[in-house]
Structure 1
Amino acid sequence: MDPCTIRLSSQFPLLPAISLRRVSTHTSLPSVSHLRHFQRKRFNLEAGGGVRAQKFDEAAFEAERLSLDAAARESMAESSKRDEAEDDPKAWKWVIRKRIWDLLEARNFAQNPRPVHHRIPNFVGAAAAAQKLAELDVFRAARCVKVNPDSPQKQVRFLTLTGGKKLLTPQPRLRTGFFSVLDSSTLTPSTINEACTSVGVAKHGRPIGLDEKIEVDLIVIGSVAVDPTTGARLGKGEGFAELEYGMLRYMGAINDSTPVVTSIHDCQLVDDIPVEKLLIHDVPVDIICTPTQVFFTNTAIPKPQGIYWEKLSPEKLGQIRILRELKRRIEQETGQTLPCGPSEKLPPTAQRRR
């Protein structure tokens, strides 16, 4: 374990160790000020002091989301080329990712949004895989389920809400802040389906902060490739699943025993992820659901304990508001300055509408 992590944990034992080996060093994150308007400022004060509902602009929110998503995927594509050209230690991950993305497209196992490259790929049979996931004992017993916001897990989000559970989901790339909670008891049958989309989360979800007292019983995570024999997993390369995992550890919402499940197509199963090359931030999975099979990996790969600040560049930190808040809080509570990673040049963000 990193000495900085040991020092902070020992001097402030109530704080879980916060660690991050890598958040993608080249992927651009937009600032959050514009989109936060849609999620957090749906009400404004009238002159008389009352509260008046402000109409949620769904079209503007979705247009902005798609624009930023395209910019982020373009940055990831540049990052993968750069890593391969420079013989970066992470280049082997991009080789496996590209193989799976190409395979999904070539065999027409891919569903919209397409192409699936640089995404958590939506796949034919995603609903069937979600149904297998919903039949798991750990899902049936869960009261609160954290589910990634990607397209192939939309049916998982739907089954979570229709099953009377709380749904915890992050805003895509944490761009509007942090997580939102959706409670099925506050939704109607006509709004549950909408609540499973990015627009619906912003419209119907309740944003939470780091002080939220919440217990997550199950984590559903998107994947590009997974090894069913070891539980080793590759995401799309941005590192946000790991970042979200680390912050939930800080909040005390999860621990090592919290099951991590993924739903993928059968062709996303691989046997060539070298466990010895995984970094400490990589999140392994306990259960894999495909349209045809369920795998219990009994993974021996340690789960991340949090965020490794010495790997996080000041530029990256400057782009993620919730991370700055977490860093400030830990430094205030411990009386110590957290380490900072080396400076990096980040790609330009998408142009913002004003």
Structure 2
Amino acid sequence: MTSIDQAKQAVRDQVWRLLEREGAVPRGSYGKIPGFDGAEATAERLAGLDLWKRAGTVKANPDWAQLPVRIQALKDGKLLYMAVPKMATLQPFFLLDPASLDVPPEQAAEKKGAAQVARRVGVEDMRPIDLVICGSVAVNRSGARIGKGAGYSDLEVALLIEAGLVTDQTAIVAPVHQLQVVDENIPETEHDFSVDLIVTPDEVIECPNRRRPQGLVWEDLSPEKIGAIPVLAALADAGKDAQE
């Protein structure tokens, strides 16, 4: 573990313990993207913003914490891309189109519901993304964020940037509990992205220091990680073939 990894883990540990100590999350939330008290109010606050109202396409992670935002997106008629957990298929996103759903948004937006009713798509079949909703363990007011450490959010965003689907016009939003907004410096590496907006049950924070990778940072990916994610393995093989 590098010094940056250790620093990030220290912030995660601090926030997880604080959330549990204050009763802001269910028991057993340590080690996860925490579902938090006020998640529904956070989704309502986000839905009142102009950037939400303008957005036609939303990409969200599949964690329980962001379920109210995914439900809101479908209720508001937005095309929703939801990451397949652990990017475990060659088509690593679920496509949820509210115009063609035959189950309630509350069911479709859940992980199990999406797996049953959504079509899996790859980047070649996706539309440009207006809004990215990213699960986070901690964020600071400059926009730096930390997930739970698995790296899937970074990979999803990098993949979409590389495909030209996340651009400078795309806003990245972190819906979190107020206790997840920290004052500490959060170290960032080449593959990390920052958020443009933090939304809590209590406030909306505009973040000034936008940071995004140019795409996938292959040097930061181990052979094991590439091999475990089918879309990365396919891209790596295609790259090798192009060099031969």
Fold-level similarity (TM above 0.5): yes
Give the Cα separation in 2 of the matches to 1:125 and 1:210. Answer: 33
User: What letter is aligned with 1:181?
Assistant: L
Query: What is aligned with 2:21?
Result: 106
Runs of 4+ deviating beyond 6 Å: none
- Shift of residue 302, structure 1, vs aligned partner: 2.3
Preserved CA contact (<8 Å) 1:145 1:218:
yes
Preserved CA contact (<8 Å) 1:212 1:251:
no
Give the Cα separation in 1 of the matches to 2:78 and 2:67. Answer: 15
Determine which of 174, 178, 193 is the counterpart of 2:106: 193
User: What letter is aligned with 1:185?
Assistant: A
Query: What is aligned with 2:198?
Result: 288
Query: What is aligned with 2:243?
Result: 336
The answer to whether structure 1 residue 322 and structure 2 residue 231 are counterparts is: yes
Once the two structures are superposed, what CA deviation does each residue of 1:2-21 show, in whole Å capped at 9, x if it has no partner?
xxxxxxxxxxxxxxxxxxxx
SS in 1 for 2:237: helix
- Shift of residue 175, structure 1, vs aligned partner: 2.0
Query: What is aligned with 1:170?
Result: 83
Once the two structures are superposed, what CA deviation does each residue of 1:143-196 show, in whole Å capped at 9, x if it has no partner?
1100111111101000100101100011111124400110001113x4321111
* Greater RCO structure (CA 8 Å; 6+ sep): 1
- Structure 1: unaligned runs, 5 residues or longer: 1-82, 338-354
Query: What is aligned with 2:158?
Result: 246
User: What letter is aligned with 2:63?
Assistant: D
- Structure 2: unaligned runs, 5 residues or longer: none
Query: What is aligned with 2:96?
Result: 182
User: What letter is aligned with 1:319?
Assistant: A
User: What letter is aligned with 1:180?
Assistant: F
Give the Cα separation in 1 of the matches to 2:179 and 2:123. Answer: 37
Query: What is aligned with 1:97?
Result: 12
- Shift of residue 239, structure 1, vs aligned partner: 0.7
Once the two structures are superposed, what CA deviation does each residue of 1:202-230 show, in whole Å capped at 9, x if it has no partner?
111111123214111110101111111x1
Query: What is aligned with 1:303?
Result: 212
SS in 2 for 1:89: helix
Query: What is aligned with 1:46?
Result: none
Preserved CA contact (<8 Å) 1:213 1:251:
no
Give the Cα separation in 1 of the matches to 2:24 and 2:77. Answer: 31
SS in 1 for 2:36: coil
SS in 1 for 2:81: strand
User: What letter is aligned with 1:329?
Assistant: A
Preserved CA contact (<8 Å) 2:80 2:96:
yes
SS in 2 for 1:298: coil
Give the Cα separation in 2 of the matches to 1:225 and 1:211. Answer: 32
Give the Cα separation in 2 of the matches to 1:336 and 1:222. Answer: 36
User: What letter is aligned with 2:243?
Assistant: Q
SS in 1 for 2:125: coil
User: What letter is aligned with 1:105?
Assistant: E
**1:197-216 alignment runs, 5 A limit:** 197-216=110-129
Preserved CA contact (<8 Å) 1:256 1:303:
no
Query: What is aligned with 1:233?
Result: 145
Give the Cα separation in 2 of the matches to 1:287 and 1:89. Answer: 24
Determine which of 49, 58, 68 is the counterpart of 1:155: 68
Give the Cα separation in 2 of the matches to 1:117 and 1:305. Answer: 32
Query: What is aligned with 2:182?
Result: 270
> Normalising by the residue count of structure 1, what TM-score does the alignment of the two structures yield?
0.66
Give the Cα separation in 2 of the matches to 1:308 and 1:336. Answer: 18
Preserved CA contact (<8 Å) 2:89 2:229:
no
Preserved CA contact (<8 Å) 2:130 2:169:
no
Give the Cα separation in 2 of the matches to 1:176 and 1:308. Answer: 20
SS in 2 for 1:254: coil
SS in 1 for 2:201: coil
SS in 1 for 2:77: coil
Preserved CA contact (<8 Å) 1:220 1:262:
yes
**1:25-36 alignment runs, 5 A limit:** none
SS in 2 for 1:185: coil
Preserved CA contact (<8 Å) 1:97 1:224:
yes
